[in-house]
Structure formats: C-alpha cells, structure tokens
A = this chain, B = another copy of it.
Amino acid sequence: MPSALSPSAFTARAPDLAAYRLAAEPYYRPVGDEIAVFEAAWRHRLPVMLKGPTGCGKTRFVEHMAWRLGRPLITVAAHEDMTAADLAGRFLLTPEGTVWQDGPLTQAVRHGALCYLDEIVEARQDTTVVIHPLTDARRLLPLEKRNEQVAAHADFQLVISYNPGYQSAVKDLKESTKQRFIAIAFDYPAPELEAEIVMREAGADAALASILVAIATCSRNLRGQGLDEGASTRMLIHAGRLAAGGVSLAAAVQAAIVLPITDDAEMRRALGAAIAACLP
C-alpha cells in the first residue's frame, strides 16, 4: 500500500533572499589570518566554528565575510528552547491553508546562503544532530516531515559560534559535532587596534578612546577574580557614545561598563578604583 507525501504537494512562493544580503561593506578590522583561513574553508565549503568571548567581533566578522563572498547571510540566535523544527521548518496553518514553511537553515541550504548559528551550544542537542548530514560529504538536509532530502546548494556554508569562556560540562558540543568544523579563535583586539575601532564606531577622539581601552584592560585582568568577563569592545563604544553625547566620562563609564558588568559591591569598588586610576 503506498503512502507518504510528495514534496510537490505543497504550494509555496519563492523566498526573497535579497533581504539577507548586506547592503554595504560592514566595517571589520582583521587581527590575524582569520580571513585567509575562512576563505580556504569556504573553497571546500568546510563548516566553520568561531570561538571567543562576548562582544569581540564574531558577528561582525561573519557579516564581513558574507559581504566579501557576495552571499546572503541568514543568522539564527540559538537558545535552549530552540528545536530542530525552528531550524528546518514546519507546517503552518495559514489563511491559505496548510503550507510548509522552510526554516532559516533550510532556506540557506536550498538557496545558497551562509547560515550563521550564533551561540550554538545553547540549543538542544536535536538541533546539532540536524546539521550532521550537512557537514560531511553528504551535504544533505533531511526534512522528515516532508519526506524530502534537500541537497545543499553549491554556495551553502555553515558557520557556528561558541563562547568557550562559560560553557559548563552539560552544555558542550558533542565530540561528533566538534570534529566536523574548522575552528577560528577570536579575542579582544590589541590596544591600538581597539582604540581605532572605538574612535570609528563611537565618534570618540583619540584621547577618549585610549582611556576607554585602558579601562577595558583593567577589567579584563579582573576576569576570573570575581568578574565573569571583562568589558567588551562593544561596551567601550557605548561609553564613548555617552561621553561624546555630553554625559561626564565618569558617569558614562559607570553606566556603560561598571553597572552592567557586576552587581557585587566588593567587585564594583575594586573595579571603580582600577578605573579611577585610568581617568584623566
């Protein structure tokens, strides 16, 4: 007795990936050979894993590479309630009846986009299993609900990110997942480079930028001594914008760096003292 649905049984419109193309070159300041390694991986369409702390530029790097390679970029922020269906797709009951809706991963696979799964370790393990047949010689995405196997578009590539700083044992990628990826490590930029970035992004002058970078260095030295992470480049930009917009430097640093980073009174005092030494 025959059974099962043919994929063509569902009407659907062609998606418009234009919305996922970057309109302008995203500013990105390289710090090592990351672009060369990414391009070598891209030539073989090897999946890439970006590792590094919060706010050091991983997302910006992927945007830059997508622009550089001329591919649309589909970004998915993973979280612990994300299921495989959130990536692959599902049947939706719509005003036009039941239609299949490709998930963001399926769209990227079918139409040849870069797919960036941000903070992948947050996701449930069923989502990581979905990407296995996409990341070996098969390059296939099985859509079991449709009885369809989607062969990846020649230009599809998978990129994931991962913050090794605060993974617990229970939330780690499985070995069988890790070994499928080329990895690129990220860290905060060197001081001069970081100052350059803060000047450009916050509209700060060189003096202000260099004070902020000095403060960041202090805070990063306190990491592991009561701080989970030091101030990110993003926080320096925030502080720079507040200061450039008329808030006093001390208040800007307090609002953009000290208060968000810790609720511990002791830690705040230590951080405050370290910062005071950096202020002009």
A interface residue numbers (CB < 8 A to B): 1-16, 19-20, 33, 36-37, 40-41, 43-44, 46, 49, 51, 54-55, 59, 75-84, 86, 89, 91-104, 106-107, 110, 118-119, 122, 124-126, 128-130, 132-133, 136, 142, 144-145, 147, 149, 163-167, 174-176, 178-185, 228-229, 231-232, 234-235, 238, 241-242, 245-247, 251-252, 255-256, 259-261, 263
Contact = CB atoms under 8 A, between A and B. Distances in A.
A41 B260 CA distance: 14
Given A95-B99, A178-B260, A37 B242 contact: yes
Contacts of A246: 36, 40
Contacts of A126: 79-82
A5 B176 contact: no
A166 B15 CA distance: 41
Contact of A144 (B6, B104, B181): B104
10 contacts: A3-B110, A15-B147, A40-B246, A44-B245, A79-B126, A94-B98, A104-B142, A122-B125, A165-B175, A182-B242
A75 B134 CA distance: 13
B125 A79 contact: yes
A84 B79 contact: yes
Nearest to A7: B1
A185 B262 CA distance: 12
A267 to B, nearest CB: 12
B1 A12 contact: yes
A245 to B, nearest CB: 5
Given A55-B176, A242-B40, A75 B163 contact: no
B81 A84 contact: yes
A91 B91 contact: no
A13 B4 CA distance: 6
A58 to B, nearest CB: 10
A119 to B, nearest CB: 7
A180 B94 CA distance: 36
Given A4-B12, A92-B145, A125-B122, A261 B179 contact: yes
A155 B125 CA distance: 32
Contacts of A145: 92, 101
A261 B178 contact: yes
Given A3-B100, A5-B94, 13 more contacts: A2-B13, A3-B10, A4-B15, A5-B12, A9-B96, A19-B149, A36-B251, A37-B242, A41-B255, A81-B124, A91-B94, A122-B125, A179-B231
Contacts of A7: 1
A245 B231 CA distance: 37
Nearest to A246: B40
